[in-house]
Structure 1
């Protein structure tokens, strides 16, 4: 059984990461095990030159895992990004909830983050109407067909996630 999941989406610079940091802390305080997947449209590298892991990857390893007593990291080469559902199924079986940042084109339920000073339009209720939008976390009142949450109240956002995502199918 897959863990519950919701994607936080927004235009770059809107404050997705800042909101997620606070929502994660709130959910952790409530006793939930939380996983996060961050979408990166650019090329990132966590494997640095000079480190043994980098040398092994450069030598041709398709998958390289580094493990310590506190954590592990997997570097897995692929031709294209796997579907978000596959990532959740493979890597997140040990958590109660997966929060994703980005993945605006996925079919996951979504909470859009909106900041008035960043943009006057929404991604999921603009030119396109995304049926997977559950709510908008905004710093201004909006008239929408989904609930509008207070962007500056991470506890309220966590309440919504708990009610609509975690307990929705329990």
Structure 2
């Protein structure tokens, strides 16, 4: 993929979204164009009954796009989740980096988010050794074969992402 993609992975309720929000803001402050993809293993719906866009989808539209002067949203029905490479190539060619939340089983480079109170074990260095783990953002000191980033130092996490993937 020509656009750099990094997956932030963790067990649920560890703070992935909070960390990503802060890292995205900091990368934007540094002048980068940032994309984000959230993986949802469950079904979700962003279209709501009663709205025109929902009515068009319910009527049978396979692809429905709503646009305004500021943004657009696309609803596209599919049989299975499209490959991440396809999503990035189709929708993110205009950004410098895509940060994903989830995709823990992918072959993407990963930063694992670890919070001591949430779990004593890691996903990528526990039962499973993921060779794509590039760092761990943690609130405790760990002895690992990858850099340990301070989970509470947003600038440090952004520095790592910038130095590793954007420079």
Q: What corresponds to 1:118 in structure 2? A: 118
Normalization by structure 1: what TM-score? 0.97
Pairing 1:86–2:102 present: no
User: Structure 2: which 5+ residue stretches go unaligned?
Assistant: none
What CA distance in whole angstroms lies between the structure 2 residues aligned with 1:78 and 1:60? 13
What CA distance in whole angstroms lies between the structure 2 residues aligned with 1:2 and 1:106? 17
Q: What corresponds to 2:95 in structure 1? A: 95
Q: How does 1:8-87 map to 2 (within 5 A)?
A: 8-87=8-87
Listed one character per residue, the Cα deviations across residues 24-49 of structure 1 (whole Å, up to 9, x for unaligned) are 11100000000000011111101100
Normalization by structure 2: what TM-score? 0.98
User: Structure 1: which 5+ residue stretches go unaligned?
Assistant: none
What CA distance in whole angstroms lies between the structure 2 residues aligned with 1:2 and 1:101? 19
What CA distance in whole angstroms lies between the structure 1 residues aligned with 2:72 and 2:29? 23
Q: What corresponds to 2:133 in structure 1? A: 133
Q: What corresponds to 2:145 in structure 1? A: 145
Which runs of 4 or more aligned residues in structure 1 lie more than 2 Å from their structure 2 counterparts after TM superposition? none
What CA distance in whole angstroms lies between the structure 1 residues aligned with 2:35 and 2:143? 32
Two-structure CA RMSD over aligned residues (Å): 0.7
Q: How far has the Cα of 1:2 moved from its partner?
A: 2.4
Contact map agreement 1:6 1:108 (CA 8 A) in 2:
yes
Q: Secondary structure at the match of 2:64?
A: strand
